[in-house]
Structure 1
Amino acid sequence: MICSMTGFGQANRSFAGYKVFIDVKSVNHRYSEVSIRMPKEWAVFEDSLKKTVLQSVKRGRVDVFVTAERETASSRSVTVDFAYADAYLQAAEQLKQRYGFSGNVELKDLLKLSDLVQMKEVRTEPDEQFEAELCACLQDAVSRLSEMRLREGAFLEQDIRDRLAELKRVHVELQAFAPQVVQEYANRLNSRIQSFLQEQTPVDEQRLATEIAIFADRSNVDEELTRLQSHFQQFDELLAEQEPVGRKLDFLIQEMNREVNTIGSKANHSELTARVIHIKAELEKMREQIQNIE
């Protein structure tokens, strides 16, 4: 099952007097990385949220954005600093006695004092139930993210399978051309020797056979073609696995490239070289697609 590393998911849920909105997006990354942005008073739940993401996402960078709105009017409490008021009244009485002032301190005078009366919002401390609801909301968003990653992964898989089928087709052609390389070399070598000697001196057949044998050994690509076919089989098996296979596929593409490069360097044959170039081009396109697979 092929899964893309890019996707997006959203979810929202109401609980504890809040309407919580969660957006989740993921992009390519060599490993798994989770970044969470949320109200700072909920930072204590960051580890639980990361674990929730990593249960479903095995590879890629995931950014989680948590925002919240209050659904109900917040409760508030009013507190009075009576010690501050007493000190103020005592100071006022001392001023009257010392300087002969008249008049009394009234309520409106006290209310003008900064910090005498304070209004505070009463907040319910987040608890385990709050944490469970928050993680459940995130799980909803991650589920939608996973659905999108799977849909995109299906398109990637189909494209990769089509290119793999093309590689197999060209591989058959390579197997057909490989024996011709030695035979054509033998014919060219014999022709050049006959031309050089102008048919005045008979060709040393043993020496000619030795040269052809040396060339045949150097240009033999049977082993590379066999390994390449084995890589195709492994590729098919990986595409059928249920676990993330992006890294394994990337490694296998590198091995295929290595075999194809060796074939190209060994075989001095125009038709074979053209097919090697075609395979390398297809492998590069496959590699680009695999960079996006989990």
Structure 2
Amino acid sequence: MLQSMTGYGIAHRETDHYSATVEIKSLNSKTLDLSLRLPRFLQDRELEIRNLITKSLVRGKVNLSFDFVRPRNTARAGAAINQEVLLATYRELEKAADLVGAPKEQLFALALGLPGVVQSPAEMPTADVEEEVSWEELLPLLQEALERVNQFRQDEGQTLTTEILSYVNTIRTQLAETSRHDPARIEQVRQRLQQHLGELTTSEQFNPSRFEQELLYYIEKLDIAEEKVRLASHLNYFAETTQLPESAGKKLAFIAQEIGREINTIGSKANDSTIQHLVVGMKEELEKIKEQINNIL
């Protein structure tokens, strides 16, 4: 079954120590165009992450965002007193008061107001939560996001397969209509040939050998039987390829080129207005197919 290159997957984990989210978006691209946004402590894992994505997603314009933050409920809510700094500061103030004979009643309040004694949340020492989380713990989160992207791609691929095969069936219908009308076209050609034959055989410059050669060339030029057979074969091959388990986007593009070649040849050789109109319809459906193939993996 076909897979779309358009995909989206997200995986989230929240613990008492951290909140981590992996979000992956994928769009159309002829090759793998990968953009990563990683937290600082995962920068050394970039090559490994790229290899995992390449193996899993193969092609597409892929954006991966790996967010890692501490939840708000683990942040320090208010200021705190650094007891060691307070004690050292208070003792220094006591020494200074004894030295000059000053009263000591306000020393505590004075010590609290000095820099470094009362610390704001930003000034407090914190553990590096990022360094405490191992890559082995976060790797399943990336794998989960990749699985969801691929599931999204498969679901989109099923929709695309149904749509593309409807265009193929329309071309089949128009080809069948072409075959149904072809005997009438051949009869018209025969009548024109008989009329011209009557005029030529009465001419003094008539050359039977030259006439036979040109007649055979003319008949071969107008015959579209082989093109119809090849077009029907290409349409069947195209439909079979959409059911292959492996990626088939490029293969389908090549088959679509062959389908277009046969349609164009039928149009150029038919020399018939009705078939020309059917050819235009087939070309229109083929363009729809090509547009959708651009999104096939």
In structure 2, how many angstroms separate the alpha carbons of the residues matched to 1:261 and 1:20?
Answer: 55
Please report the TM-score for the alignment, with normalisation by the length of structure 1. 0.76
Matched with 2:87 is none
1:185/1:29 CA distance change after superposition, 3 Å: same
The AA in structure 1 aligned to 2:63 is D
Matched with 2:280 is 277
Matched with 1:223 is 226
1:16/1:252 CA distance change after superposition, 3 Å: farther
User: 1:80-106: CA deviations, max 9, x gaps?
Assistant: 9xxxxxxxxxxxxxxxxxxxxx99xx9
Deviation at 1:205, TM superposition (A): 8.0
In structure 1, how many angstroms separate the alpha carbons of the residues matched to 2:214 and 2:294?
Answer: 45
1:195/1:216 CA distance change after superposition, 3 Å: closer
Matched, 1:253 2:219: no
Matched with 1:159 is 163
Matched, 1:64 2:64: yes
In structure 1, how many angstroms separate the alpha carbons of the residues matched to 2:62 and 2:17?
Answer: 28
The AA in structure 1 aligned to 2:127 is V
- Indicate if the aligned counterparts of 2:16 and 2:74 stay in contact, CA closer than 8 A: no
Deviation at 1:156, TM superposition (A): 0.8
Deviation at 1:176, TM superposition (A): 3.6
User: 1:208-253: CA deviations, max 9, x gaps?
Assistant: 6554322111122223222212211221221111111111111111
User: 1:15-65: CA deviations, max 9, x gaps?
Assistant: 682110121111001112321112223211222222332333122111111
5+ residue gaps, structure 2: 77-81, 85-99, 102-106
User: Could you say what secondary structure the match of 1:242 adopts?
Assistant: coil
In structure 2, how many angstroms separate the alpha carbons of the residues matched to 1:131 and 1:279?
Answer: 54
- Indicate if the aligned counterparts of 2:267 and 2:276 stay in contact, CA closer than 8 A: yes
Root-mean-square deviation (CA, aligned residues, Å) is 3.8
In structure 1, how many angstroms separate the alpha carbons of the residues matched to 2:75 and 2:47?
Answer: 28
Please report the TM-score for the alignment, with normalisation by the length of structure 2. 0.75
Mapping for residues 124-139 of structure 1, pairs under 5 Å: 126=131, 130-139=134-143
The sequence identity of aligned pairs, in percent, is 30
